[in-house]
Amino acid sequence: MEHGRGTVLVRYGEIGTKSSKVRIDMERLLRDNLESMLASRGVDATVDHEWSRLLVRTDSPDKTDAACDAACDTFGVVSASPARSVAPTAETIYDALRDAAADHPDGATFAVRAKRAGTEDEHPFTSRDLEREGGSVVEAETGAGVDLDDPDRTYYVECRAEEAFVFTEKRSGPGGLPLGTQGTAVVLLSGGLDSPVAAWEMMKRGCSIIPVYVDLGEYGGVDHQARALSTVGELARYAPERDLSLRIAPAGDIVETLMSEVGATRMLSLRRVMLRIGEAVAREVGAHSVVTGESLGQKSSQTGGNLAATDVAVDLPVHRPLLTRDKTDIVDQAREIGTFDDSTITVGCEQVAPSHPETNATPEEVAAAEPADLLARADAVGRTVEVVAPDR
Ligand code: ATP
Ligand code: MG
């Protein structure tokens, strides 16, 4: 027999350290975002805010799993636990423990950890009582051994004045801050592997994103564009009800010019063009920055010196969330968040790269080798983007 309704306990972290006004706004947004996430996944549930955490109530216990997954994909959530919610009496708590022990893994040691809020007047038992008695209940049910120091499974009991929770799992969420608390950033999205991870990292810290793909004409390709659009679709899963339409900027003519008129610093000029396009879009949509998936030294255009030479082309800050990350680590994360794609395509700009690229150009050298109207052309391209909605 199943004891209790389906509930998911949702914990958040950094929000709790904010001043009360900021915290209240962030908590409200986290709750709204979680509700949207649940709705987008067809999980019928309500979200309450109690005791510095959120409680998701599902209409049936078998929906707690899906509700917990939704919570663990919501930015700002540190961890979540599918729980049994029961009346706060010793007997109902032990019944719930017995239920929870039904799927105890064979041979696994265990511990019961209980937290009882309130006073002895409210509850005629202490946390220690719950742990001791609860331990006997689980032991009788499973025959498993107790290990208080390093248990294979922990049975958690949280007993409040009106309600008690029993759970065995704490699943990790992304952490960070609720989406929508940190304004909007433009993300240069290439169809490659790094830039969607960079976008996700910004979203994790609360930033809404506007993705921009720069169409390199002959040097890009429909497959890159299609890949960029499909990664936007993956990112959109983390941002239900938000517009993540891809902006496609037609830069084929500019690339032609670079190919015929610029040599060793061509790639850096292309970077500058991309940043300027991003900046033009940012101005249009009111974004505060431009984000790239660049990582220090990953490519010749990403040496410290070259990043400096490209940044001076724009006034807005350029954020690079992956600056210090190793490729293997970025690949692992792409798999984890669902933006990884097995198919290998040559990134368009590799075909633009000169055979002997400049690795340490000064901004002056790059600018001097560039056609005088290059960046103005980039601005114009940034104002004529095509907007394409992703499949959700
Ligand atoms: P990615 O970095 O997305 O995996 P990549 O590593 O193959 O692709 P890089 O040459 O490292 O591509 O590009 C560096 C960054 O420049 C990308 O992370 C992305 O932010 C931006 N970028 C590159 N090409 C494009 C493009 N065609 N459209 C928009 N942004 C681009
Ligand atoms: Mg890269």
Ligand that comes closest to the CA of residue 191: 1
Fold of 184-388: Rossmann fold (3.40.50)
384 vs 300: which has the higher pLDDT: 384
How many C-beta atoms surround the C-beta of residue 57 within 10 A?
A: 17
How many C-beta atoms surround the C-beta of residue 368 within 10 A?
A: 11
Query: Rounded to whole angstroms, how far apart are CA atoms 331 and 130?
Result: 45
pLDDT for the residue 206: 98
Residue 248: what residue type?
A: I
In this structure, the residue with its CA closest to atom 2 of ligand 1 is 194
pLDDT for 142-170, tens place per residue?
999 999 999 999 999 999 988 999 999 99
Q: Give the DSSP H/E element, type plus range, for residue 115.
A: strand 110-116
So where are the chain's domains?
Answer: 6-172, 184-388
Query: Does residue 351 have a known ligand-binding role?
Result: no
221 touches ligand 1 (CB under 6 Å): no
What average pLDDT is seen over the chain? 93
190 touches ligand 1 (CB under 6 Å): yes
Q: What is the pTM of this model?
A: 0.93
Ligand that comes closest to the CA of residue 188: 1
CA of 192 to the centre of ligand 2 (A): 7
299 touches ligand 1 (CB under 6 Å): yes
Task: Compute the average pLDDT of residues 104-132.
Answer: 93
In this structure, the residue with its CA closest to atom 31 of ligand 1 is 190
Fold of 6-172: VC0802-like (3.30.2130)
- State how far the alpha carbon of 173 is from the alpha carbons of 113, 133, 206, 361, in Å: 22, 32, 14, 42
Tell me if residue 57 falls in helix, strand or coil.
strand
Sign of the CA dihedral with 232 first, then 238, 241, and 243 last? negative
CA of 213 to the centre of ligand 1 (A): 9
234 touches ligand 1 (CB under 6 Å): no
pLDDT band at residue 344 using 50, 70 and 90 as cut-offs: low
pLDDT for the residue 391: 85
In this structure, the residue with its CA closest to atom 23 of ligand 1 is 190
Q: What are phi and psi of 204, to 5 degrees?
A: -60, -35
Atom of ligand 1 nearest to the CA of 293: 18
Taking each helix axis from N to C end, the angle separating 304-311 and 266-285, rounded to the nearest 10 degrees, works out to 50
Mutate which of 332, 347, 385, 386 for ligand 1? The one with the most ligand atoms within 8 Å of its CB, which is 347
pLDDT for the residue 348: 57
277 vs 1: which has the higher pLDDT: 277
pLDDT for the residue 345: 61
CA of 347 to the centre of ligand 1 (A): 8
170 touches ligand 1 (CB under 6 Å): no
Task: Compute the average pLDDT of residues 237-247.
Answer: 95
pLDDT band at residue 1 using 50, 70 and 90 as cut-offs: very low
pLDDT for the residue 4: 55
Query: Rounded to whole angstroms, how far apart are CA atoms 327 and 211?
Result: 22
188 touches ligand 1 (CB under 6 Å): yes
pLDDT for the residue 119: 80
pLDDT for 33-59, tens place per residue?
999 999 999 999 999 998 789 999 998
192 touches ligand 1 (CB under 6 Å): yes
Structure tokens belonging to residue 255: 């690339």
Per-residue pLDDT at 225 exceeds 70: yes
CA of 190 to the centre of ligand 1 (A): 4
Of 3-7, 249-253, 365-369, the least confident: 3-7
